[in-house]
Amino acid sequence: MRFRFFILLLLFSSFCYADNIIQYRVEGKLAGTVKGKYAYLHIISNSIQKTHMVQASIVNGSFVFTGTARSADGEYCAASLYISDKPGFLYKDILVLMKERNYDFRKFILEDNVLINVGHSLKESVVIDGELNDINTLYQGVTVRRWKQDDTLRKWYNSEMAKYKNDVEQKQRIEAEYYKSLREIQKVYDEGFLSLVRKYPSAKQSQITLRGFYQINKMNKGKFTEELNDLWRLMPESFKVSKDGKLCMKFLSETKNDNKLKEGLMIPDFTFRPDNDESFSMKSLKGKYVLLDFWTSWCGPCRAEHYYMKKAYENFKSKNFKILQYSFDTNKEKWLKALKEEELPWLNLRDMKGWNKDVADLFDVKGVPTNYLVDPDGKIIARDLRGEALEQKLKEIFGEK
């Protein structure tokens, strides 16, 4: 989940458009609690120029950047503002901060004259300029709300894990609730961006955002296809025939071709050959409802799902329901350690090759967790059930409320 959030950030903040040279002047004023000796302008890389940092000293709470930037495709150039006490700040320092999730910055559009009023947070600074930055501020607002929710959730998680550090069952519950909340936050984040695309379809930010979602849609097996098709009808014809518009259609075509195992199709009649040399065939599970789940020990969201899978298994194991898990772990010891920690009561196999491309391709596994719910005839009746969705689906199948 975090991975998708940062993929979106990179997609939406790393393109500088318009085939011209921008003579920019960026003036900033510190009027709140944000303090520092130096301001840094990170001008984002593109096909014309490399990413680079520009430094300015902060004097009496003010700073000014002047210079030139190049951009492509007749649109705009993005940049980010950072404040620090450290001289000689470099792009690699930003990467460290991102890894530590300990950074504050304000993304905006480079234009001739930009004024940035910094208050108590760079993320929420007021950028004064033209229409490009007005709309960009709306997109920035969605991101800032996401960060605040993430921070609140992380504090709750750390507090709860410290409270129950010796209670395995409670820790599993906390992990499950944490990843469930992350999915809910991600859903609101996605909806926020897509609503802005719907409201401002002609804005360049919206067109970049839409392209990003077509790519994310491909990675997530067509999750957004219906909504993206609706949004496509709103986009101007100039975008549809542009390079980015054609790229969207390419991603959509690849999404349809990649999504091999859909509901209603038969699960492959495959014989797994795990590293203990004891082969196991899907045929042996015919006549039962089966959850086939692909995971790894190092995948946090995978392990968080065990909390819900255990509940479903306990409630329906007497009603012809089985679970088969298949791990792509490369390290057998770590896999065995995870099995012991999780106390999983169903059959678990590990591929002796680790990430076996043949198995992944056959079962359309682009990433983990991936799962399929299969009926007694071997037909797929649901896929990628997360959280309580598995138990709800089983209640529906077995006629329980």
Helices 204-219 and 225-234: angle between axes, nearest 10 degrees: 160
CB atoms within 10 A of CB 269: 10
Are 148 and 279 in contact by the 8 Å Cβ rule? The answer is: no
Bigger pLDDT: 21 vs 155 = 155
The model's pTM: 0.84
**Mind listing the pLDDT tens digit for each residue in 342-389?**
999 999 999 888 899 999 999 999 899 999 999 999 999 999 999 999
Q: Considering the chain, what percentage of its residues have pLDDT values greater than 70?
A: 93
b/e code 302-317 from CB counts within 10 Å (16+ = b): bbbbbbbbbebbeebe
Phi, psi of 398 (to 5 degrees): -95, 10
Across the strands, what pairs with 373?
291, 382
Bigger pLDDT: 97 vs 32 = 32
**Mind listing the pLDDT tens digit for each residue in 113-127?**
999 999 999 999 999
Is residue 3's pLDDT more than 50? no
Residue with tokens 């709470």: 61
pLDDT value at residue 272: 87
Collapsing DSSP to helix, strand or coil, 70 comes out as strand
Are 350 and 275 in contact by the 8 Å Cβ rule? The answer is: yes
Collapsing DSSP to helix, strand or coil, 367 comes out as coil
pLDDT value at residue 5: 52
Helices 168-199 and 225-234: angle between axes, nearest 10 degrees: 20
**Averaged pLDDT score across all residues of the chain:** 90
Amino acid at 137: T
322: buried, middle or exposed (CB in 10 Å: 19+, 13-18, 0-12)? Answer: middle
231-254 average pLDDT score? 94
Contacts of 125 (CB under 8 A, 6+ apart): 81, 106, 116, 117, 118, 119
Are 17 and 46 in contact by the 8 Å Cβ rule? The answer is: yes
Nearest alpha-carbon partner for 133 in 68, 63, 204, 191: 204
Bigger pLDDT: 390 vs 222 = 390
List domains and CATH numbers for the chain. Answer: 15-123 (2.60.40.1120), 144-258 (no CATH), 271-397 (3.40.30.10)
Query: Among positive and negative, which fits the CA dihedral 372, 373, 375, 379?
Result: negative
Query: Among positive and negative, which fits the CA dihedral 353, 359, 365, 371?
Result: negative
pLDDT value at residue 14: 44
Are 251 and 215 in contact by the 8 Å Cβ rule? The answer is: yes
Q: 3-state SS string over 127-146?
A: EECCHHHHHHHHHHHHHHHH
Are 133 and 104 in contact by the 8 Å Cβ rule? The answer is: no
How far apart are the C-alpha atoms of 157 and 163, rounded to whole Å?
10
Phi, psi of 107 (to 5 degrees): -90, 140
Bigger pLDDT: 192 vs 21 = 192
**Mind listing the pLDDT tens digit for each residue in 44-72?**
887 788 888 999 999 999 999 999 988 87
**Mind listing the pLDDT tens digit for each residue in 78-115?**
899 999 998 988 878 887 777 666 678 999 999 889 99
Rg (CA), the chain: 25
How far apart are the C-alpha atoms of 235 and 80, rounded to whole Å?
28
